[in-house]
Structures are given as C-alpha cells and as structure tokens.
Amino acid sequence: MDRMLVVIFPNESKAYEGKRALQQLDNEGSIGVYGYAVLTKNADGSASLKQGDDVGPIGSLVGTSLGSLIGVLGGPVGVVAGAATGMAVGGSIDLNNIRVGSDFIDDVQKSLLPSRSALIAEVDEEWTTPVDTRMEAVGGNVFRRALSEVREKVDDEDIAAMKADVAQLKAEDAKAQADRKAKLQDKINDLESRIQAKAQLAKARLEALQRKAQAKVGALKAKAEGARAKAS
C-alpha cells in the first residue's frame, strides 16, 4: 500500500538516524521507499529542507504528493532549501496533490514544533511493525496515512457540474431578451474557460501519476534484479 510517512524527531541528528533506518528497511525489502526528505522547523516558523543524496524513483519533489506536503508543513513563512536539495518547493504547492486528509496534516503540524525535525517519506508498506520498531528505537513518533486516489474523480465531478451549468445558461440564453444575452454569454464564456483549465490540470495530474507509477515499477524491478544477483 502506498503511504505517506511523517516521523517527528526531537532534533535533526535523530532524524538522520531515522533516515538511515528507513534506507536499511528499503534495502532489506521490508518496505519500498519512493522518496524522502528531512525537514527541520526553525524558531521563526520557517523550515529548512535537508534532502538526502537519493530522492528515490520519484526524482524531483516538485509537483509530487511528497513535495506538496513538505511545502505545507513548511508553514506560512515557507521552506528554505538546504544545500543538498538544489530546489525549493514552497512556490509550487498544489494542495490537490497532497492526497492525505487535513486531519493528518493538523496532527503532524501540532507535533512538528520549533527545533524538531521530521523525516517525510512516500513509501510502499504492507505492514507497520518494521517502520514503527526502527523509528521508536531512535526516538521517532510515527504518523502515517494511505495515499488517496480520489482526485481524478473529484476533477471529473467538477467538470461535469460546470458543464451542467453551461447547458443551463445556454438554455436561458436561447429564450432571453437581447439585454440579457450579453451577460449570459459572459457567464458561459467564463465557465467554458474554467472547464478547459480544469481539464488541462486534470490531464497533467494524471500524466504525472502515470509517470510516477512507471518509475515505481522500474524501481521495484531493479530491486528484484539486484536481489537475484546477490543470491546467485
């Protein structure tokens, strides 16, 4: 199951211990790690992003569920990218990409206090004990949530609703007096522009999810081939 993990540690050093433990679990095959980052909350409300050397098969964090969650957890002051990241996510946040509930985000934000650090990762995890055991051993408090796939359905429903509004306005326009037609046409044009923009966004989001799925399949295949090579 694809899940978002956020593990809160009392300091950055412990968060890096947690990151190494997560990588070990990935190497052992207990979980699959698609991407991760270490985020440290600063006293002024900002956050510093400390990315590991390997961001996993997801590649760039920009535009991903992981990157969007990092941007939100960075708070209103935003995220300062560390030297190891080479990028910032604060200006690229699409809340629709996060794919976890607001209650999950609230719980994490309440725990991510100044001077604390968070290990944030998108993983494939079939059971929780391996991660919980390793993270608790180094002082981590684990939050997890399965990633939702409902965004595409919501996009379709939004577009269908706007198309219904357009149809209603066109029906009114056909019967309207001349002084009303211009106003109705303005509303129709506005809705049709919104429909086009929504459809383009939905298409781009779906293409990104497809690329991400392909990358995950490739990573799992490479891991399996590596395991066979070690066994032979």
Domain spans of the chain, in order of start = 2-146, 151-231
Between 123 and 86, residue with greater pLDDT: 123
Of residues 140 and 209, which shows the higher confidence score? 140
Q: Which of 18-27, 142-151, 184-193, 214-223 has the lowest mean pLDDT?
A: 214-223
Residues 6+ apart with CB under 8 A from 206: 152
Range with the poorest average pLDDT among 24-28, 47-51, 133-137, 203-207? 203-207
Confidence of residue 220 (pLDDT cuts 50, 70, 90): low
Task: For helices 102-111 and 65-73, give the axis angle rounded to 10 degrees.
Answer: 50
Evaluate whether 212 touches 64 at the Cβ level (below 8 Å).
yes
**Pairs from 189-198 (Cβ < 8 Å, separation ≥ 24):** 191/162, 191/165, 191/166, 192/166, 194/162, 195/159, 195/162, 195/163, 195/166, 198/155, 198/158, 198/159, 198/162
How many other C-beta atoms can be found within 10 angstroms of the C-beta atom of residue 118?
29
pLDDT digits 0-9 by tens, 28-69 = 889 988 888 899 998 887 888 876 544 444 445 545 778 788
Quote the tokens at residue 68.
Answer: 């969007």
